[in-house]
């Protein structure tokens, strides 16, 4: 089966991490996997480094109006002749949707990982009705937010969670006071909220540390905020790290303070290391964390409540260990990469 992944995002985020992982796993199962990407995107560079066939173009928001670029992409698609096309988002759909319509393709899968309503104009109405054959969402939370497109689709959106390899030679260190948060330094990830949470944690546990793993445009503002609220000596910015496990394993728990999140792949990374997780309950996190068993779900984005749960866990290493083990058991039961890729293969070959 020749499968073409289309992802025009330049930065490396959760969606790009997941795209690369699915590409890699399908390649292991002897599918021919090809990537159509943005020039010098991080996904494109990583795919090239690891032997994938890639084709890159300088794509922007309005590139679907650029007839010269569209003509180049069309020639590439005709040359590739994919059996399956997997589109990363609305950007990819708008850019090449009409090309697909003209050259034809057996199955066109649209992936949605953002929990917000899809704006439908005449072009998208046509593309969802006549080009897209299937939609994959990464959580029930996301599916419920895109109900407005369901009437346009041939098939109902299918929930396929993210997954990872569940085994690790290293585990969390429950004796440290290090708290991890992983994500792009942007508004939706709520790192500023994590700093406010940390300010309250330090009132009761002054030796605690917040390790921020990730990079982004908000970094300077976040560094300034940490100084303004007087916690700069208790916060460490590590930047973008490929080997996240090595840092996570030096922490005792992970928090997720996102304003919105389609899934939360980092929760699985923590569960692999037998690390308890704390997240706000308005996210898809409640499809991953079992409250009071594998971690805590905090209602109403309550900063005070999250700081209390963090302090409680850091004070009770045995509880952290028990929760971490239960989280790892849940990961092996529900979120292994093998089970997830089985679902992809089922949809692709259906």
pLDDT tens-digit map of 208-263: 999 999 999 999 999 999 999 999 999 999 998 878 999 999 999 999 999 988 99
Q: How many domains does the chain fold into?
A: 2
Q: What is the mean pLDDT of residues 330-347?
A: 96
Give the residues across from 57 on adjacent strands: 38
Q: What is the mean pLDDT of residues 17-36?
A: 95
Helix (H, G, I), strand (E, B) or coil at 120: coil
Same domain, yes or no, for 212 and 325? Answer: yes
**173 domain residue, yes or no:** no
Same domain, yes or no, for 10 and 158? Answer: yes
Q: Give residue 101's pLDDT.
A: 84
Task: For residues 299 and 53, give the distance between their C-alpha atoms in angstroms, rounded to a whole number.
Answer: 45
Give the residues across from 136 on adjacent strands: 111, 158
CATH code, domain with 121: 3.40.50.2000
Listed residue (82, 158, 150, 144) closest to 120, CA to CA: 150
What is the overall mean pLDDT for the chain?
A: 94
Same domain, yes or no, for 50 and 186? Answer: no
**98 domain residue, yes or no:** yes
* % of the chain exceeding 90 in pLDDT: 85
Same domain, yes or no, for 329 and 244? Answer: yes
pLDDT tens-digit map of 101-133: 888 888 999 999 989 899 999 999 999 999 999
Q: Are 281 and 299 in contact (CB under 8 A)?
A: yes
Same domain, yes or no, for 310 and 230? Answer: yes
Parent domain of 324? 178-334
Same domain, yes or no, for 209 and 314? Answer: yes
Rama region for 182: left / alpha / beta (φ>0; ψ in -120 to 50; rest): beta
Measured between alpha carbons, how far apart are the two ends of the chain, in Å?
12
pLDDT tens-digit map of 54-76: 999 999 999 999 999 999 999 99
């Amino acid at each position: 089966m020749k499968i073409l992944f289309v992802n025009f995002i330049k930065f490396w985020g959760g969606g790009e991490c997941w795209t690369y992982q699915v590409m890699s796993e399908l390649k292991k199962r002897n599918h021919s996997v090809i990537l159509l990407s943005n020039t010098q995107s991080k996904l494109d560079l990583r795919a090239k480094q690891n032997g994938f066939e890639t084709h890159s173009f300088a794509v922007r928001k309005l590139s679907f109006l650029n007839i010269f670029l569209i003509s180049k992409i069309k020639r590439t698609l005709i040359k590739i002749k994919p059996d399956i096309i997997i589109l990363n988002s609305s950007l990819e759909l708008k850019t090449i949707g009409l090309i697909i319509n003209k050259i034809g393709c057996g199955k066109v899968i649209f992936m949605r990982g953002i929990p917000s309503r899809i704006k439908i104009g005449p072009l998208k109405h046509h593309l969802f009705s006549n080009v897209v054959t299937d939609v994959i969402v990464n959580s029930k939370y996301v599916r419920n937010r895109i109900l407005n497109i369901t009437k346009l689709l041939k098939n109902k959106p299918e929930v396929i969670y993210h997954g990872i390899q569940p085994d690790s030679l290293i585990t969390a260190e429950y004796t440290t006071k290090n708290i991890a948060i992983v994500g792009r330094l942007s508004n939706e990830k709520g790192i500023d909220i994590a700093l406010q949470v940390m300010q309250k944690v330090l009132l009761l546990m002054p030796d605690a540390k917040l390790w921020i793993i990730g990079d982004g445009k908000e970094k300077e503002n976040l560094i300034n905020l940490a100084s303004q609220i007087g916690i700069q000596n208790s916060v460490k910015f590590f930047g973008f790290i490929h080997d996240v496990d090595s840092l996570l394993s030096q922490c005792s728990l992970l928090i997720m303070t996102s304003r919105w999140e389609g899934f939360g792949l980092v929760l699985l990374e923590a569960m692999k290391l037998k690390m308890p997780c704390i997240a706000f309950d308005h996210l898809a996190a409640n499809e991953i964390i079992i409250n009071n068993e594998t971690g805590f779900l905090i209602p109403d984005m309550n900063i005070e409540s999250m700081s209390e749960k963090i302090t409680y866990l850091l004070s009770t290493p045995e509880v952290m260990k028990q929760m971490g083990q239960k989280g790892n058991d849940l990961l092996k039961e529900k979120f292994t990469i093998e089970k997830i890729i089985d679902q992809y293969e089922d949809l692709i070959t259906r």
